[in-house]
Amino acid sequence: MSDPTLRIVFPADAAELRDVRHRIAAWAAPYLSASDVEDLKLAVTEACANAVQHSGTQEIRVTISLDGSCVEVVVEDDGVYQMHLSGVAGDPGAHRGLILMAAMVDDLSLQRGTEKRTGTRVRLVKCPA
């Protein structure tokens, strides 16, 4: 069987996210339930949105592949991960994106881009029920 890995490279622009998540959903549909595909769409959107809004990257690279029976999505940028996101004092929702992203997948790992070593890598894994 040929390697079904899909790689999407796009400019760090919020207007791109809709198309990216639709392509991710179409790729994942044979492997996951409709509900799990929706979870993955949200997780990927949040990961990309972080890169678009806070990292300073010009480009985002999304790779989707199979890891055993699970679907793995890696979102990479060339920016710096901001620990102090929107910085809205007293806004209980300031870190909601990260929490939502984590809640939508079976596994999440985050390698942060820093000033010393730029480039954030988020790995999302969604497994079938």
Partner 1 sequence: MSDEAVRVELTDGLQGAKLSGELDIAVYEKLTAELAPLFEATGDLILDLSDVAFVDSSTIRLFVRLQQSRKDTGSVVLLRPQPHVARVLAVSGVGELGMRVQDQT
Minimum CB–partner distance for residue 46 and partner 1 (Å): 6
Which residue in 122, 42, 9 sits closest to 75, CA to CA?
A: 122
> x/- site string to partner 1, residues 68 to 87, per CB under 8 A?
--------------------
Number of residues interacting with partner 1: please give it, by CB under 8 A: 25
Amino acid 10 reads F
- The helices-and-strands tally (H runs, E runs) of the chain is 3, 5
With residue 123 as reference, give the H or E element that holds it: strand 121-126
Q: How far is the CB of 3 from partner 1 (least distance, A)?
A: 29
Q: Contact 61/7 with Cβ under 8 angstroms?
A: yes
39 scored as a contact of partner 1 (CB under 8 A): yes
Of the residues 2, 30, 35, 89, which one makes contact with partner 1 according to CB under 8 A: 35
Considering only residues 90 to 109 of the shown chain, the ones binding partner 1 according to CB under 8 A are 91-93, 96-97, 100, 103-104
Calculate the alpha carbon distances from 2 to 23, 47, 110 in Å.
Answer: 19, 28, 29
Question: Least distance in Å: CB of 18 to partner 1?
Answer: 5
Instruction: Return the SS3 of 127.
Output: coil
Q: Residues in the site for partner 1, rule: CB under 8 A?
A: 14-19, 21, 35, 38-39, 41-42, 45-46, 49, 52-53, 91-93, 96-97, 100, 103-104
